[in-house]
Amino acid sequence: TLAPVTPSFDAITAADIARAEIAPMTQPDAEEVGGWAYPGVYAFYDYGADPDDLAEILDADRRAGLYFGVRLEGYGLIGFVQTWPVGEDGSVEIGLGLRPECAGHGLGVAFVELLCDWLITRVRLRPMTITLRVATFNARAITVYERAGFRAVETEQFTRKGATVQLLRMRRPVQ
């Protein structure tokens, strides 16, 4: 018998990201994301590191309408986006994650732009603002978000498992 072929995520290009499809997150997707492990300080983003986060993403009822998987033909799940309901001020907050094997390979801007374009077509409110939060130690992601049109607005404190992390709130206006 032949062993299953595991795709080489290193072969994905920024141009490939435009072909990715975004759809409601399935249970297998949620389980896969729950097992993702980021290296070093980026482990802060591991769903498996926080029982509450893991329980949320694994619960189909809590996940419904809020979590979406990003799939690329030939590679499967390459990322996800979490959305919150539109705020009274016309803002939509997102959380996102790129598969650990895809991070750090120049795909971030294309991935964030794909998510923003998708969100803009879903939310027809204008003007609107897309917001997100990122740990201030994550200079790599902050640079990606700036290149995708986001600007820093404010910082706030976030505590998880007894550790306090400073988060940067960023916004991207949509006309």
pLDDT in tens, 30-79: 999 999 999 998 998 999 888 899 999 999 999 999 999 999 999 999 99
The pLDDT of residue 4 is above 70: no
Task: Report CA Rg, the chain.
Answer: 16
Q: Are the C-beta atoms of residues 100 and 47 closer than 8 Å to each other? A: no
Q: How far apart are CA 90 and CA 5, in angstroms?
A: 45
User: pTM of the prediction?
Assistant: 0.91
- Higher per-residue confidence, 162 vs 171: 171
> Which residue, among 36, 166, 14, has the nearest Cα to 97 in the 3D structure?
36
Question: Which are the contacts of 162, defined by CB distance < 8 A and separation ≥ 6?
Answer: none
Is 10 a residue whose pLDDT tops 70? yes
CB 46 within 8 A of CB 6: no
- Residue 94 clears pLDDT 90, i.e. is over it: yes
CA distance 105 to 99: 11
Q: Which of 4-8, 39-43, 89-93 has the lowest mean pLDDT?
A: 4-8
The H helix count followed by the E strand count for the chain is 6, 7
